[in-house]
Amino acid sequence: MQDLRISLVQGDTRWHDPMGNREHYAALLAPLAGTADLVILPETFTSGFSNDAIFRAEGMDGPTVAWMREQARLLGAAVTGSVQLRVGEEVFNRLLWVMPDGELRHYDKRHLFRYGGEHERYAAGRERLCVELKGWRINPQICYDLRFPVFCRNRYDVERAGQMDFDLQIFVANWPSARAHAWRTLARARAIENLCYVAVVNRVGVDGNGLHYAGDSAVIDFLGQPQVEIREREQVVTTVVSAQALADHRARFPAMLDADGFALA
């Protein structure tokens, strides 16, 4: 593992305006060329978190997937964020993970936000995703998943012999400020219990439903301490996470060796 440069893109997403959002986020991303290894966008960054956006959901051959491939190429970095994508008769809240060479993987949101009616229109994913970047194993998830520690759990000697499943966990979100305390608390809990870094990226502003977003995007270390944290304004911040510091912590405090075994259903 090498140290990893992570850029958090905390933007004010335009409501139901995919083209406008692609242009807006492209401008925010442009200064990152050559300075980041991983660039993280918010959840549903082309539309905002909207059940009505399902009617304009793109396919995997649509303009947003092509845009993400182009951004990854221009930046020389992995780029990730979620959008509504149609596959056959179903629409998923799908996180896209795109590498500079165009390689694309995805994760479909497993826990749909019942309180907001997401489960009534969108299809749920099942499988957890882990990807690799500069020797790091990374587990990307979406918003409401943060509340479900079993699905988020970092296991030892399961996916990798003698090692943990992942080293960095990501959550992209549209998490309203009314529940900001839960957002901050749960992100820190995931980092502590999983002995890993956690990067959380939320949006700011007010959406078309009148919901306010305070941001609070952050990179949190394995002790639950924010390495960087963005408050309530549109901002792009880059920080470097240390592979050696993570390895030293796991060697010094090997709680994973005492964890309960289980399998995800």
Give residue-wise pLDDT tens across range 177-215.
Answer: 999 999 999 999 999 999 999 999 999 999 999 999 999
Residue 200 has a pLDDT of 98
Q: Per-residue pLDDT averaged across 111-122, rounded?
A: 95
Q: For the sheet with 4-10, list strands across it.
A: 104-108, 90-98, 78-87, 38-40, 4-10, 235-241
2 Cβ contact list (under 8 Å, min separation 6): 134, 135, 243
Q: Beginning with the edge strand found earlier in the chain, give each strand of the sheet holding 136-142 in spatial order.
A: 131-133, 136-142, 168-172, 197-201, 218-220, 226-229
Can you tell me the mean pLDDT for 226-249? 97
Residue 68 has pLDDT above 90, yes or no: yes
Contacts of 264 (CB under 8 A, 6+ apart): 128, 150, 151
Which token pair is 172? 């992209």
CB 36 within 8 A of CB 237: no
* Nearest by Cα to 205 from 29, 6, 42: 42
What is the per-residue pLDDT for 9? 98
pLDDT band at 263 (very low <50, low <70, confident <90, very high): confident
1 token code pair: 């593992």
CA distance 139 to 222: 15
Q: What kind and span of H or E run contains 30?
A: none
- pLDDT attached to residue 225: 98
List phi, psi (to 5°) of 45: -75, -10
Is 264 a residue whose pLDDT tops 80?
Answer: no
Q: Which residues are catalytic?
A: 43, 109, 143
- Percentage of the chain beyond pLDDT 70 is 100
Does the pTM of the predicted model rise above 0.85?
yes
pLDDT at 221 over 90: yes
**Residue 258 above 90 pLDDT?**
yes
Cα–Cα distance measured from residue 34 to residue 264, given in angstroms and rounded to the nearest whole number? 38
Looking at every residue in the chain, the average pLDDT score rounds to: 97
The answer, yes or no, to whether residue 154 has pLDDT greater than 90, is: yes
